[in-house]
Structure 1
Amino acid sequence: MNLVNLESVSHAYGPKPLLSDISLGVEAGERIGVVGRNGGGKTTLLSVIAGAVRPDTGRVTHNRGLRVGFLSQQDTLAPDATVKEIVLGGLAEHEWAGDQRVREILSNLIGDLDLEARAADLSGGERRRTALAQLLIDDHDLIMLDEPTNHLDIEAIAWLAGHLAGRKSALVVVTHDRWFLDAVSTRTWEVVDGRVERYEGGYAAYVLAKAERARIAQAAEERRQNLMRKEIAWLRRGPPARTSKPKFRVEAAQALIANEPPARETVELMRFAAARLGKTVYDLEDVTLHAGGPGSGPLVLDHLTWQFGPGDRIGLIGVNGSGKSSVLRLLAGTVKPDDGRVVRGKTVRLAHLSQELAELDPERRVLESVEEIRKYLQVGKKEWSASQLLERLGFKGEAQWKIVGSLSGGERRRLQLLRLLMDDPNVLLLDEPTNDLDIETLNELEDLLDAWPGTLILVSHDRYFLERVTDRCVALLGDGTLSLLPGGVDEYLERRAAGTALTARVASVTTTTTTTSPGAAAQGSAASAAGPAQAASSGLSAKEERELRKELGRLERQLGKLSDRESELHAAMAEAATDYARLGTLDAELREITAQKESVEAEWLETADRLGD
């Protein structure tokens, strides 16, 4: 049964029709991902379905009593309302605190944010998370989300995908995050040229189906051309002999990629990169770095030694505030380490795309702004003109002659990125390059980066883009080191989940031990002084208590040895940064040590609990 029906709907802004005679419906429980170029009508379609925009022509009908939750790109939070008032409304504390679903939403979206903070004092990301939490806590028959992953880190995006997939509500979501689309959607709508093309499955299925449609259309066009040539030949030669009609077979989707080469010629790119850069790109030697400057703000790196080599394509992962941008600024030379030194190769030609848009001359035209850097660029084995590259990144035809001052934020970001590439760097530092880019532009950017020889260090919450353009991932896990992730984003999420669970276990024990002496020696002396009285109060005999304290000491010594070995392995992995076979061996041992450490910590917690410490 359809929850919403659109019948012959059309809508335009100015002379451009965004929707033309659209008829479609949203079924109960259906999860739909909406894709298309920026400005193509995706947000308009969502607004029309939600009833927030009345179409120029046609009819939109909702089921009686339909509960619609709509997250638009512009929040409407009351500036004087607190986070608690916005998200929880009039719920009493015992109501929401006792609700597992509400606690989970608060934990993953609100986190450490003060519930008494006013909306006017929140950052853009905090406002977005607050609005999303408010929507998810309520019950809806249909949830409509416009770019819900904006301002969310990889961890929060993974949680949101799982949460939405587990809800019974119907879902319509607009996003450029292709991993998220694949994780949540069972159907895909593409808004193109005023039409809505419908496909079964998520993003991956949509790409295959679209390619197959294109192949069939090409075959049909070739057949039409062949028939036209035959018709012309007949007109020139007279009646032809009777011939059989040509037959075309529809290939399976897998045949489209059977002979497709790898996205990147890794060996060849590494060879080019080594020739352009030499052996040294960046060497970090015993570097200590705080996010807010020497000694201030969170600790990002703690006496870290690490190497970035020629041809490395590295994705840098971490929660918001972990210091990813600080690491990029350290490599760019805009911030200095608290301690240690950063050795930069003599041949490094750097381009750094930060989250802040660089100043562009607002009076210049787009093409002029690029050509003032360079008119032609060699990408792989092909030479591209500035105009051709602009077209690949979405500036087609007359758009190349627009005044820079009239560009949107997304267009400025594309222009900034292209200007950096035109300067022919051999090291790229990219901080959230996918912000405001649509899927087609992302595909073109990935294709450009595939053929670019150099060292790439990328920070992005777009998991698909991250895994697509990098060869390995490292993470900032809050321990002052860079942790290599052979398993990529999945391994990062596993480590984060394991760390959160361990922290919760430790916290549950330490809250019961705050009244006891802090150190093992003090515990021992307190036990000796208390004697039989303390043993009686804990329900243990004096002998049992002595045995448990002896066991506690043994576990602490074992933990110390495991921690030392863990540090040695991190140092060894930093030294072997370019030896992938050695890295794999070291990482396997590190995982084993980590598992042993967690087991010993759990045993220590259990022993301390029995002692009442």
Structure 2
Amino acid sequence: MSTLLTAQSISYHVTSGSILEAVSFTLNQGDRIGLIGHNGCGKSTLLKLLDGTISDYHGALTRANHSLIERVEQHLPVDLNHVTMIDAVLDRLPPAERLAEAWRAEVLLAEMGFTEQDWSLTAGTLSGGQHTRLLLARALIRQPDLLLLDEPSNHMDLPTLLWLEDFLTRWKGSFVLVSHDQYLLDQVTNCTWIMRDKQLQFFRLPCSQARQALAEQDLADEHRYQSEQKEINRLEKSAKRLATWGKVYDNEDLARKAKQMDKRVDRLKDSQTQLTAGTPWQLTLKGEALPANRLLSMTALEVRPAPEAEPLFEVISQQLKSGDRVAILGRNGAGKSSLLRLLWQRYQDAADNAGNSQTSSLAFHPQLRLGYYDQRLAQLTDQDTLMDALRPFAPLTDELRKMALISAGFPYVRHQERVATLSGGERSRLLFIGLTLANYHLLFLDEPTNHLDLEGKEELAETLQTFAGGCLLVSHDRALIEQSCNRFWLVHDGKLEEWHDLDRLYAKLSGQNTADPVAGHLPTDLIEIHDTVTDFTESDVSDPQAQISEDEQLLTRLMALESLLEDDLARKAKHQKPKLQRTWRDEIEQINLALGLA
């Protein structure tokens, strides 16, 4: 296994402080590394160190002579906005090679899903997901040994994300992938780097297993720290007692022993196990169930990006009640966010019109309290201070608002800063603080994970699972969707449909042929069994032995499914498979219906 690069005691400092301190690692051919860590910890900085963009670091970074490294940026470079796609790819080659290698650029763009008509489009007119594909083509035309990918899944819709997963699975080279999408990382990586406390933890494991290993390491460190602290406390107490006796009895020997013990305490403190600083903020959302049959209902509702624009799709008939956590899925531009903005605007209009929330196409419960996370973070006013920005969410005292800001990592000295000075991640955190302080019956969450790290995503999924009200969620994060949602709406071909089988829905989004949403309620193997039973019932009722045979098949399958479900539920929660459990339960329910046991 050949080495692509090695780092020895790499340290990097900026004006606000150090980002890396004495970090060492080796990256070998065949390594497919997921790089994770809290927002702002320095992941993008590390990629720039690896490809040579940043050179003012301390330590030694050695790249193999034969290896070629290419970095795929988060955003399209400004100087490419007015360049055609084909020229943007060829721009990565020396001028003398561009004409002869034009065919390779065309092949790469075709592999990235672009048609020949697309090649003449200027890069600045493309969507975020298309930018990532174009930047990948620019990197691949140089045939690199190592790809550095900086959050390529950000702002991707689910179909493009599925394409990226397939691309990275087939990619034969090595890569370092920065991402907060644990599902993606688990599918495509075999190693994990975790940036934390200005250090780099390395695990030859995919993301979820690496995080579990780090958690176990943290627990062992905590136990070791407590044991060391217990010994330090004992020695400090003994030293203090000896020092007191030395004074009382004027005994130099006791005083000398006390000083020796103090030195030993100092050495123990210097070598004491270091614990992670962690993160001070935990995302929680409190909701309240409204005792009513529905929170909102939609009938023949047309969704438009703007009032004068053509409709993007129509909601024929849908209702939502407390306990419903609905994921809205579809391609970018389908109108998912437009639906949430339309509902939010209608809700605000109803509040302005003395609670009149009924129209022919849309009805809110008159007592409904609605919260909205807009991916544009538009609920926050730039000129407000952090304290003032929280006032519209809940009628609380200034003291409670101060405590909420401090607990979320905003120290007191920052409370009078303007919202305009915050980073995207900080604005997102401030908006979540506001939603946390309130107590809503219904939440609209539009791409809430764009600025969340892995821990924040998990906290969001966990808090949504126990959210007492209802929720409409627009997201392309499969882990969040699968862990927190119990209903699934697909915006496709000008209409909104409800699906119950996520695997079939994903297949639909990735362009595979799949059944309609009604057939999607049944797993594939059960559809075949059900069709067999239906055919038998209609044509072979005169043969009771055939009926017994079909029933026995269903009963055998039922017993096997119940055994699988029971065994999985007996495992520890972290080892269980909720997605499979849901599939098994659906199939058990359908078999019971077919046998008349339900």
TM-score by length of 2: 0.68
User: Partner amino acid for 2:194?
Assistant: E
* 1:363 positional shift: 4.5
Distance 2:378 2:51 in 1: 37
* 1:4 positional shift: 1.1
Alignment correspondent of 2:339 = 327
SS of equivalent residue, structure 2 residue 120:
coil
Distance 1:85 1:341 in 2: 49
- State whether structure 2 residue 122 is matched by structure 1 residue 103: no
Alignment correspondent of 2:162 = 158
Check whether the contact 2:75–2:131 (CA below 8 A) recurs between aligned residues: no
* 1:49 positional shift: 0.8
Instruction: Identify which of 123, 132, 137 aligns with 2:136.
Output: 132
Structure 1: segments with no counterpart, 5+ residues: 239-262, 378-383, 503-579, 590-613
Alignment correspondent of 1:196 = 200
Alignment correspondent of 1:252 = none
SS of equivalent residue, structure 1 residue 319:
coil
Change over 3 Å in CA distance of 1:22–1:418 after alignment to 2: same
Alignment correspondent of 2:216 = 212
Change over 3 Å in CA distance of 1:423–1:219 after alignment to 2: closer
Distance 2:109 2:135 in 1: 14
Change over 3 Å in CA distance of 1:277–1:320 after alignment to 2: farther
Instruction: Identify which of 421, 424, 440 aligns with 2:439.
Output: 424
SS of equivalent residue, structure 1 residue 307:
strand
Alignment correspondent of 1:341 = 361
Change over 3 Å in CA distance of 1:24–1:365 after alignment to 2: same
* 1:407 positional shift: 0.6
Alignment correspondent of 1:59 = 60
Distance 1:461 1:213 in 2: 31
Check whether the contact 2:7–2:61 (CA below 8 A) recurs between aligned residues: yes
- State whether structure 2 residue 89 is matched by structure 1 residue 87: yes
Change over 3 Å in CA distance of 1:230–1:111 after alignment to 2: farther
- Greater mean alpha carbon deviation, residues 225-234 or residues 118-127: 225-234
* 1:385 positional shift: 4.4
- State whether structure 2 residue 6 is matched by structure 1 residue 5: yes
* 1:118 positional shift: 1.8
Alignment correspondent of 1:463 = 478
* 1:203 positional shift: 2.1
Provide the identity percentage.
27
User: Partner amino acid for 2:74?
Assistant: Q
- State whether structure 2 residue 20 is matched by structure 1 residue 19: yes
SS of equivalent residue, structure 1 residue 25:
strand
Instruction: Identify which of 401, 417, 423 aligns with 1:408.
Output: 423
Aligned length in residues: 467
* 1:291 positional shift: 4.6
Distance 2:158 2:122 in 1: 26
Instruction: Identify which of 279, 286, 294 aligns with 2:300.
Output: 286
* 1:145 positional shift: 0.7
User: Partner amino acid for 2:60?
Assistant: R
Distance 1:112 1:366 in 2: 50
**Which string of whole-angstrom CA distances, capped at 9 and with x for unpartnered residues, describes residues 23-56 of structure 1?**
1121111011111122211111111011111132
Instruction: Identify which of 373, 382, 386 aligns with 1:366.
Output: 386
User: Partner amino acid for 1:476?
Assistant: V
SS of equivalent residue, structure 2 residue 216:
helix
Distance 2:196 2:396 in 1: 31
Check whether the contact 1:393–1:444 (CA below 8 A) recurs between aligned residues: no
Alignment correspondent of 1:115 = 119
Distance 2:429 2:473 in 1: 16
Check whether the contact 2:191–2:206 (CA below 8 A) recurs between aligned residues: yes
- State whether structure 2 residue 461 is matched by structure 1 residue 454: no
* 1:448 positional shift: 4.2
Q: In angstroms, what is the RMSD of aligned CA positions?
A: 3.9
- State whether structure 2 residue 315 is matched by structure 1 residue 296: no
User: Partner amino acid for 1:27?
Assistant: N
Check whether the contact 1:393–1:441 (CA below 8 A) recurs between aligned residues: no
Instruction: Identify which of 377, 381, 390 aligns with 1:357.
Output: 377
Change over 3 Å in CA distance of 1:166–1:127 after alignment to 2: closer
Check whether the contact 1:282–1:308 (CA below 8 A) recurs between aligned residues: yes
* 1:312 positional shift: 0.6
Check whether the contact 1:277–1:347 (CA below 8 A) recurs between aligned residues: no
Distance 2:511 2:128 in 1: 30
Distance 1:288 1:372 in 2: 30
* 1:309 positional shift: 1.3
Structure 2: segments with no counterpart, 5+ residues: 92-97, 246-282, 350-358, 516-581, 592-598
User: Partner amino acid for 2:488?
Assistant: C
- State whether structure 2 residue 320 is matched by structure 1 residue 316: no
TM-score by length of 1: 0.67
Change over 3 Å in CA distance of 1:498–1:448 after alignment to 2: closer
